Chain A
């Protein structure tokens, strides 16, 4: 086997991911998240949360270590097995304005991905070290997004 194949091309990113996994798997599980690694993306954790939510049946969460050495949280509220997609909304303009206002008030920002699915996000930069406690705070805060999602249901019918 060639030497290059034995060398991790992303040792820093790998180390960060391992530390993230070591934190999120046990701590997230203790908060009733179901936490998995992703086969197709070795730098992303997939998690689900569905305990005691009033408006969204569950949140799908992707936590990634990026090439730029940031940790990104993406939290997708799910409805009837689907994400909240701009194309499926009765009033996409009002929803977009609402979530841009949420980004002013809330802990999380809101965004739209390449498929026009709506998600809440949070980004950590790692220049000041690995933010163990702050990551725990984000995990504790994710269920609180349910009340914001409740305000979005009016734009879905």
Chain B
């Protein structure tokens, strides 16, 4: 019995240890990401800050004048699955683009899926059917600083595909 207890205790400690390791890795990744977002000039223009609700989300926005989108809202998430996900929500006429408010719904969705074939970002719909552009990094090959810079520089370029969606929304 004592042996069984010892085994269970060791297993429990092992599991807690693994969880602690995961959290430590996640914390380190968040620190690296925050350091990059606060020092890289194009990211500084987006004024990133840690989310009050989700401690592993860093939120920012790009609201310099654009042709179509009134603002691009950005969420960079460090996940427990060792990924960093960027989500960019375009705001059009002051609100997110929601599938339920799109007039030509079928063409709209097909265009999103065709764009995902050819673009750097892919399009997706969240649980509220709000549209966002996404890009996901896996972290098995270390922290991808230069690649993240490319994603940040590419965010303002999303205004153009948003413009192509406008005729399908109205």
Residue of A nearest to B122 (CB): A109
The reply on B39 being an interface residue by CB < 8 A is no
Report whether B83 and A107 are in contact in the complex, using a CB–CB cutoff of 8 Å: yes
- Chain A 90-114 interface mask (CB, 8 Å, partner B; 1/0): 0011001101110110010111111
- Check B141–A131 contact: CB distance below 8 A: yes
Decide if B160 is an interface residue (CB 8 Å cutoff): no
Tell me the minimal C-beta distance from B22 to chain A in angstroms: 16
Chain B residues near A97 (CB, 8 Å)? 99, 109, 125, 129
When A100-B125, A104-B124, A112-B113 are in contact, do A92 and B106 touch as well, CB less than 8 Å?
yes
- The answer on a CB contact under 8 Å between B146 and A100 is no
Find out whether the CB atom of A133 lies under 8 angstroms from the CB atom of B141: yes
Number of residue pairs across A and B with beta carbons under 8 Å?
109
Chain A residues with Cβ under 8 A from B140's Cβ? Answer: 131, 133-134, 136-137
Whether A111 lies near B117 (C-beta < 8 A) is yes
Assembled-state Cα–Cα distance A129/B144 (Å): 8
A131 surroundings in chain B (CB, below 8 A): 138, 140-141, 144
Tell me the complex Cα distance, A116–B137, Å: 27
Which of A5-13, A119-127, A148-156 is the interface stretch? A119-127
**Interface residue ranges of B133-170 to A (CB < 8 Å):** 134-136, 138-151
Q: Which of A35-73 contact B (CB under 8 A)?
A: 70
Decide if B147 touches A103 in the complex (CB within 8 Å). no
B48 at the interface (CB under 8 A from A): no
B positions within 8 Å CB-CB of A: 81, 83, 99, 105-106, 109-110, 112-114, 116-117, 120, 122-127, 129, 132, 134-136, 138-151
* A interface residues, Cβ below 8 angstroms from B: 70, 86, 92-93, 96-97, 99-101, 103-104, 107, 109-114, 116, 118-119, 121-123, 125-134, 136-138
Given A93-B105, A109-B134, A111-B117, 12 additional A-B pairs, CB 8 A: A96-B113, A97-B99, A103-B122, A107-B83, A110-B122, A113-B114, A114-B117, A127-B144, A128-B145, A128-B148, A129-B142, A137-B138
